[in-house]
Structure 1
C-alpha cells in the first residue's frame, strides 16, 4: 500500500470548520468522543470529467500521520447538514473527508443532470485525490439519498483504491424513484425536485421553495394536465421532471444508464446499507442488499423504525455508529466495532432490535383469505360474492403516512381513510398469540374492472384494542388494461418488506383501494399519458374470491 504522511503545516489555507457546522455538531448526543481537532480547506477547485470546476471542501484531523479518505459527492451543497455530519464528525475520528458539490450545484460549474455525469465526475474526483500528498490510496465513500446514488455510479467501475461504501437511505435507480411500481410518485417527485433545485442555495431559499410547494400541492394534485400543473409549485419548468413525466417507460432510451444498481451485481467492495421501514428508498436498498449477497460481496444491513428523513435525524446516533464501525473495519483494519450478525432490524410492535444472520430470515408463508363480510380467514370462502368499489379520480382515495419525504411520513392512524366507501378492509379476529411478520408481504388478488384502467393499492395495518389502525407496509400495482377488463385477472401486489410483531389481542387488517393520492398520481381511468392526460373517468374495481393476504411469519 502506498502511504503518505500528512503534515498540517502543508495546508497554509486551512482554518477551523465553519462556525455554524461546529454549532450543529454540538447539538448531537450519544456520539463517540472526539479523537482529533479538525481543520478545513474550503472552496478547493477540482476539475470534473469535462473540466468544469467542482467546488470541494477538505476536512482533516489536526495531526500528523496517515489517515484514510472518505469521498462525499453531493447535489445538495456542502453546508448543513453535510459539513457537521460528515466533514466534522468523521474527521474527528481520523479520516480525511472530501465533500464535493456535484456539477451545476452548490457553486460548482457545468450543467446539472440527475445522473448523466455522476460516474465520470466521481472518477475525476478520485484522479484528483491521487495527486494529493495526504492521500494514502485507501478510499471509502459515504452518504444518503442522492449521495448514495453517486456511490453506486462510482462503483460501476470501482477505482482500485475504493475499499468500502456506506450507502444510507440511498437509491440506485432514478426511473424507479419516479415510478416505483407503475404509477408516478407525484408527491415524492415534487418534494425531491425542490431539494435538488434549492438545497444547495442556502436555508432561506430552501424554506421558501418548500413553503411554495406546500401551498401549491393540493392544487397541483387536482389539476390536469400534470405536465403543466406542477409549474407554479416549483417556480418554473424543471427539465428533468418534464422528462420523467413524459417518459414513463423504463425501456425508453432516455433512461439508459440511469440505473446504477448493476454495480451491486458484480461488486466486490464491502458495503454497509442503512434504511428505514418507512424510507422511500427501502425497496431499492433491499434490492441492493440482495444483489450484493448473490454476488458474494461482504455486505451489512441496518433497518430502523425510520423514514427517509428521520434516519439521518432521530436515527443518527445508530446510523453514525454503524457507519463508523464499517469504515474503521475496512479502511483502518479495526473490526472491533462490527456486530457478528449480518443484518440488524428494528421490529415494530415489539419495539426492539433483532440481529439476524441474513435478510430475509426463514419464514413460513401464511395465507389469510379475504371473505365477503370483511374478514381475514385461514380458510378460503365458499361461493362468496365478489366485492366492488368505485374509484373516482375526481375524488381520489387519499394517502395517509407511509414512505414519504414530507413530515406526514411514517406510521399513522388510518381510521378516517378506512371509513371511506372506496376502501375495502379485511380484518382478522383478535389474535390469541403474537404474530411476527418478517419479509416481503404480498396479496394474491383476483380482480377486474369495468374500464381496464385502474391501480390497486394494498396496505397492511396493525389494529390495537382501541381500534386504532396503524399502517405497517403497503404497495401499489397498475393493472394490465387488457386482462383487467376481460374478467377477473390474477395478480400479485407486493408490499415493501417489513419486520413487525402483531401483539396478542391486536388484529391484522388489509386495505384494498384504487390509489393513494397525492403520494401517487391518480389513475385517470383513460390510459392517457400522465403528463398530458386531461379527462377523468371513474372505474369500478371488483375483488373476486379466492383472494389472499400472504404473510411471511416467523416464530416469535
Structure 2
C-alpha cells in the first residue's frame, strides 16, 4: 500500500497571467517532512475549472491525490468565482492554461513535471493549453473533452445543441462580475419555460439579456453555422492544432452515452498518428461525468464490469508517467466496453440487464470490425442484400410545433436550476442543477415524465413523423464496434429542414415490455442547408432529390439472436437539438415556422442505406 501523507492547503494563491490578470487557485501539498514542509519538490497535477475550485468533490479529489505525493493545483478559470477578469465561454483558456503550467513548474514545491486532469469543460481546457505545447507539460488524462466543437460538441450536422443555452444560463447565474441581485434573478429562472416554446428568445429579450457578455457569446455560436473564424480558436478546435499539440502520453476517456463520444475518439486517433509518445483510449458505457459508480443510466444495468473507481486509475496513470513507478492500468492502446450480452431480464431494481464487458484492441475500430451495409426498404426493412429491397418512397409530415421528444442519448448540461423555494440557504447553484430530459440509454417510448411529450404517449415508432426500419430478428450475434453513418436520398417541400437518425437495439417482446425494449445506442442529425459541407450554405430547391449523410456517434454493442437492429428516421430530436423552422431563413431568425412534407427514397437510383463497422463473433 502506498504511503499517505498529510496535506497542507494553501488557499487563494494568485497566479499571474499575461496581461496582468490574477487567477486564483488552491494548492494541495503533501507534507512529507513535518508541519513546515511546503517546499519538497514533487510532481504537480493541474485541474482548471469554471465550476468553483472549492466544490466539495474537487476538494476531496485534490486531497486524495495530494496524499499520495502530488502537488495538486485547482484553479478557477478567468472570471469564475475567485479569479480576475471576465469569463466568456471558451475564450483565453489556452493561454491561461499555458501560463499556469509554466508558473507551477517554477515553484519550489514542484519538481518541474506537470500533469493535467479533469472532465468535460476541464477536459477540453487541457487540450486547449496543450496546443501551445508548454515545455513542462508531461502527461494528461483528458476525460470527455471536445475536438472540433463545431461538428460534435456545440453544433452537430449544422444543428445547435440546446444544452449550451442552459449552460450559458448557469454560467451567468454564477458570474461573480454580475450584481448579486442579477445572479439571484437568474437562479430563479427555469430554462424549461423557454424550451416549451420551441424557440430561442430574441437577442436581448431572454434571461441572458441580464448578462450581456453571455448573451452575446450565445448568439455568436447559435447563429454561426458556417465553419468560420468563430470556430477556429484553439479552445474550440483542438484538431486544427494537432500538429502543434504537445507530444506527451495522454489517456482519452469517455462514455458511449457522453456528449463527447466522437470527439474523444477523434482526438485519440488524430494524435496517435502524429505523436511519438503513446496515446490511449478508454471507453465505457457511461453518461457524462466523473463518477465512481457503475452508471447512472437507469433503467439499464450493464453489469459489474461497468463499475470502475477512477481515483486508483488516476493515481496509477500519473505514478507511471511522473514518478516512474508501477505499471499502466492496461497495456493495449484501446480498452472499450462492449455493451450487451446479458439475458435481458429485469433485476431486483427493475433495470433491464443489458450487460457487457471490457475488451482491449490495438486500434479503433477494433481490427476485426469491417464496414457493413444495410439497405432501407419501402416495407420498413433493413436488408443486407439490396436485391431483396422493394423500391419505393416513405413520406411523413414534420411539424416543427410538435417535434419528436428526446428520450435519452448523448446529453449533458441540459439542466434547469432548481429554485428550492422556502429554503433559506440553498446549496450552491451547481448542486441545484436538474436534468430537463434523461441522458443515456432508455426505452424509446414517451410518458408524461418525458419533457415536451404529448398524449397519446407510447413508443416513438407509432408517431406518424417517425420512419422505422428494422432487420429481421437476428439468427446470429452481431457486434457493431466503430463509426456509423446513415446515407439518405431525400426530398422536402421546405426550403430547409433537418434529418435525424437513431440506431436502436430492439429487444423482442416480453410480458414486462410487450412492445419490446427499444434501447437507443446512438443518434445524429443533419441540417439540409449544410448537406454539402460547412464552409458555405447550399440553398435547397423544394421537391428535388438530394443526398444527406448523417454522421452518428460511434458505438460498441452486441446484438443478441432474436433482437433487431433498428433505424428511426425523422426531422427533430428536441430539446437535444434546436428545431428547424423549415423556413430557410438565416439561422436564429424567429419569423415563424412551417410544416414540411419530407420523403426518403429507396430505389436503385437512390439507395438509402446504413453503413456501420462491425462483425459476427465466432
TM-score category of the 2 structures, normalised to the smaller one? 0.7 to 0.9
Report SS of the residue matched to 1:410: coil
Confirm or deny: 8 A CA contact 2:292 2:309 kept in the other structure.
no
Match of 1:280 among 234, 238, 259: 259
**Match in the other structure for 2:431:** none
**Match in the other structure for 1:112:** 87
Report SS of the residue matched to 1:212: coil
- Residue 478 (structure 1) aligned with residue 527 (structure 2): yes
Q: How do residues 113-262 of structure 1 correspond to structure 2 at under 5 angstroms?
A: 113-176=88-151, 177-186=153-162, 188-198=163-173, 212-219=189-196, 221-223=197-199, 225=201, 227=203, 231-232=206-207, 236-237=211-212, 238-253=215-230, 255-257=232-234, 258-262=236-240
User: Cα offset for 1:46?
Assistant: 1.3
User: Cα offset for 1:36?
Assistant: 2.2
**Match in the other structure for 1:414:** 444
- Residue 385 (structure 1) aligned with residue 392 (structure 2): yes
Aligned partners of 2:19 and 2:561: how far apart in 1?
61
Confirm or deny: 8 A CA contact 1:329 1:338 kept in the other structure.
no
Aligned partners of 1:136 and 1:199: how far apart in 2?
35
Q: How do residues 514-529 of structure 1 correspond to structure 2 at under 5 angstroms?
A: 514-529=571-586
Confirm or deny: 8 A CA contact 1:155 1:263 kept in the other structure.
no
Confirm or deny: 8 A CA contact 1:445 1:490 kept in the other structure.
yes
Q: How do residues 440-479 of structure 1 correspond to structure 2 at under 5 angstroms?
A: 440-466=483-509, 467-479=516-528
Q: Using a 3 Å threshold, how does the CA distance of structure 1 residues 108 and 472 change in structure 2: closer, same or farther?
A: same
- Residue 550 (structure 1) aligned with residue 530 (structure 2): no
Aligned partners of 1:234 and 1:301: how far apart in 2?
41
Q: Deviations over 1:119-173 (max 9, x none)?
A: 2222322342244211110111111111122211211122221110111111244
Aligned partners of 2:171 and 2:147: how far apart in 1?
16
**Match in the other structure for 2:547:** 490
**Match in the other structure for 1:3:** none
**Match in the other structure for 1:8:** none
User: Cα offset for 1:248?
Assistant: 2.6
Report SS of the residue matched to 2:612: strand
Report SS of the residue matched to 1:136: strand
Confirm or deny: 8 A CA contact 1:441 1:497 kept in the other structure.
yes
Report SS of the residue matched to 1:116: coil
Report SS of the residue matched to 1:213: coil
**Match in the other structure for 1:28:** none
Q: Using a 3 Å threshold, how does the CA distance of structure 1 residues 478 and 484 change in structure 2: closer, same or farther?
A: farther
**Match in the other structure for 1:14:** none
Q: Deviations over 1:495-535 (max 9, x none)?
A: 10000011111111100000101111111111223323321
User: Cα offset for 1:112?
Assistant: 1.2
- Residue 347 (structure 1) aligned with residue 338 (structure 2): yes
State the TM-score, normalizing by the size of structure 1: 0.87
Aligned partners of 1:234 and 1:38: how far apart in 2?
44
User: Cα offset for 1:364?
Assistant: 2.1
Q: Using a 3 Å threshold, how does the CA distance of structure 1 residues 443 and 85 change in structure 2: closer, same or farther?
A: farther
State the TM-score, normalizing by the size of structure 2: 0.78
Confirm or deny: 8 A CA contact 1:329 1:335 kept in the other structure.
yes
Aligned partners of 2:485 and 2:504: how far apart in 1?
13
User: Cα offset for 1:105?
Assistant: 0.5
Aligned partners of 1:378 and 1:146: how far apart in 2?
41
Q: Deviations over 1:388-434 (max 9, x none)?
A: 11111111122211011144000111132221100000111211111
Match of 1:326 among 317, 323, 348: 317
**Match in the other structure for 2:274:** 295
Q: Using a 3 Å threshold, how does the CA distance of structure 1 residues 495 and 398 change in structure 2: closer, same or farther?
A: same
Q: Using a 3 Å threshold, how does the CA distance of structure 1 residues 347 and 520 change in structure 2: closer, same or farther?
A: same
Confirm or deny: 8 A CA contact 2:404 2:574 kept in the other structure.
yes
Aligned partners of 1:476 and 1:129: how far apart in 2?
43
**Match in the other structure for 1:375:** 381
More moved, 263-272 vs 540-549 = 263-272
Aligned partners of 1:491 and 1:127: how far apart in 2?
46
Q: Deviations over 1:440-480 (max 9, x none)?
A: 11112111112241111000001112211110011111123
Q: Using a 3 Å threshold, how does the CA distance of structure 1 residues 511 and 153 change in structure 2: closer, same or farther?
A: same
Aligned partners of 1:334 and 1:208: how far apart in 2?
51
Report SS of the residue matched to 2:112: coil
Aligned partners of 1:235 and 1:347: how far apart in 2?
46
Confirm or deny: 8 A CA contact 1:460 1:508 kept in the other structure.
yes
Confirm or deny: 8 A CA contact 2:119 2:289 kept in the other structure.
no
User: Cα offset for 1:250?
Assistant: 2.1
Count of residues paired in the alignment: 519
Aligned partners of 1:136 and 1:83: how far apart in 2?
23
Q: Using a 3 Å threshold, how does the CA distance of structure 1 residues 141 and 394 change in structure 2: closer, same or farther?
A: same
TM-align CA RMSD: 2.6
Aligned partners of 1:58 and 1:410: how far apart in 2?
35
Report SS of the residue matched to 2:600: strand
Aligned partners of 2:554 and 2:400: how far apart in 1?
28
- Residue 306 (structure 1) aligned with residue 286 (structure 2): yes
Match of 2:402 among 395, 417, 431: 395
User: Cα offset for 1:286?
Assistant: 1.4
User: Cα offset for 1:206?
Assistant: 9.9
**Match in the other structure for 2:588:** 531
Aligned partners of 1:265 and 1:327: how far apart in 2?
24
More moved, 525-534 vs 141-150 = 525-534
**Match in the other structure for 2:420:** none
